[in-house]
């Protein structure tokens, strides 16, 4: 039987992680890697996250059952425009990251109606953040999905996500974008503001040598200023709210220090640490996605998506099992 082709457009770091997970659940998938940075695609091959590299983008996606797009948000439109004419009917394109509202509009503009589309956000398990970069890192991750296509097709894709170890969660596009502003965009903005604040005076030339790995990790977020500003401008009211909330916390801490009120300062920071621990405990406990486990689906929605034989492989049933009714 011909192998199912899955294409990764963008290989670092999420694309490579997806490739590793795909090969872990089914080595018969043909995973094709494409990245503008040739070294990123070649690294995916080296890590066995892909079977081959294809430099030509439309050719990489032609004949693929699934195309995962993990490029930066400002490259999504050109990607969809480039691959749209070469996608086979019934294929699914999944964009990971960026604004769901924007991604859905771009899909309507550039992809044929015969192609299903999913805009998604992959939220890795925070407790596993330091785990090795392999398929296990997807375990327990929340993968929010906003889809265009039939319920059966999207349900099948949710089953596919679950097979990779993540927890699928269908959400409203605008609601998820609103959540992203506070938990995805704001941390990157604050990282940029921290860098700007600490580095603007003349003493930075010496202070910089006292800033090491911890400071680098804390300021690593601001990598695409244009995309971050676009996200802020997309919902000015919510952006203003969250920036005001952050400033209030800063001012409360400043006022406590100026008043030499150590207890107030300690209580503020201790309360934040306690909330963080409760949040991590929730992640450790896990969340029920509400999806039907693959092994109980029978001739499942996953089967409608990648073929029943492939669904059987996901569920641990040998291909061609004669005992299935």
68: its two tokens: 């995962």
224 — pLDDT class (breaks 50, 70, 90): confident
Q: Where in the chain is the domain with CATH 1.10.3660.10?
A: 175-285
Predicted pLDDT of residue 149: 80
286 — pLDDT class (breaks 50, 70, 90): confident
CATH code linked to domain 175-285? 1.10.3660.10
Rounded distance, CA 148 to CA 153, Å? 9
Q: Where in the chain is the domain with CATH 3.40.50.720?
A: 5-171+292-314
143 — pLDDT class (breaks 50, 70, 90): very high
SS3 276: helix
Give me the helices (H) in the chain, please.
14-25, 38-46, 57-61, 76-83, 100-110, 151-163, 173-180, 186-199, 204-207, 213-218, 225-234, 236-258, 262-285, 301-306, 308-314
How wide is the angle at C-alpha 139 spanned by C-alphas 137 and 140, nearest 5°?
125
Q: What are the beta bridge partners of residue 147?
A: 118
pLDDT (tens digit per residue) in 51-79:
999 999 999 999 999 999 999 888 999 99
pLDDT (tens digit per residue) in 11-58:
988 999 999 999 998 888 999 999 999 999 999 999 999 999 999 999
Model confidence, pTM: 0.82
Rounded distance, CA 283 to CA 151, Å? 28
Q: Is the pLDDT of residue 309 over 70?
A: no
Residues 6+ apart with CB under 8 A from 270: none
Predicted pLDDT of residue 2: 63
Predicted pLDDT of residue 260: 98
First to last CA, the chain: 22
Q: What are the beta bridge partners of residue 199?
A: none
Rounded distance, CA 11 to CA 1, Å? 27
Q: Phi and psi at residue 142, in whole multiples of 5°? A: -95, 125
293: its two tokens: 């486990």
DSSP state string for 147-212: EES-HHHHHHHHHHHHHTT-EEEE--HHHHHHHHIIIIIHHHHHHHHHHHHHHSSTTHHHHGGG--
| Domain range 5-171+292-314, CATH class | alpha beta
């Amino acid at each position: 039987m011909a192998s199912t082709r899955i294409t990764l457009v963008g290989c670092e770091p999420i694309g490579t992680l997806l490739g590793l997970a795909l090969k872990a659940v089914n080595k018969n998938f043909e995973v094709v890697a494409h990245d503008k940075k040739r070294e990123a695609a070649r690294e995916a091959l080296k890590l066995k996250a892909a079977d081959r590299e294809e430099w030509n983008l439309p050719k990489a996606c032609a004949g693929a059952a699934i195309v995962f797009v993990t490029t930066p948000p400002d490259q999504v439109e050109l990607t969809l425009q480039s691959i749209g004419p070469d996608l086979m009917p019934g294929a699914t394109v999944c964009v990971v990251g960026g604004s769901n509202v924007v991604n859905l509009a771009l899909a309507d503009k550039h992809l044929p109606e015969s192609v299903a589309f999913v805009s998604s956000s992959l939220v890795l398990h925070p407790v596993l953040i330091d785990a090795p970069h392999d398929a296990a890192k997807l375990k327990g991750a929340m993968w929010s999905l906003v889809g265009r296509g039939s319920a059966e097709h999207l349900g099948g894709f949710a089953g596919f996500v679950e097979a990779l170890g993540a927890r699928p969660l269908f959400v409203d596009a605008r609601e998820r974008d609103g959540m992203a502003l506070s938990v995805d965009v704001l941390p990157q903005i604050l990282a940029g503001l921290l860098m700007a604040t600490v580095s603007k005076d003349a003493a930075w030339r010496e202070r910089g040598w006292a800033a090491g790995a911890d400071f680098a990790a804390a300021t690593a977020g601001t990598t695409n200023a244009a995309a971050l500003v676009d996200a802020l401008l997309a919902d000015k009211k919510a952006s203003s709210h969250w920036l005001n909330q952050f400033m209030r916390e800063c001012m409360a801490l400043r006022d406590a220090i100026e008043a030499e009120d150590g207890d107030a300062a300690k209580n503020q920071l201790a309360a934040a640490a306690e909330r963080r621990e409760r949040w991590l405990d929730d992640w450790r406990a896990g969340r029920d996605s509400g999806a039907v486990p693959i092994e109980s689906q029978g001739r499942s929605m996953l089967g409608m998506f990648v073929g029943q034989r492939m669904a059987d492989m996901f569920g641990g049933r040998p291909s061609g099992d004669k005992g299935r009714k």
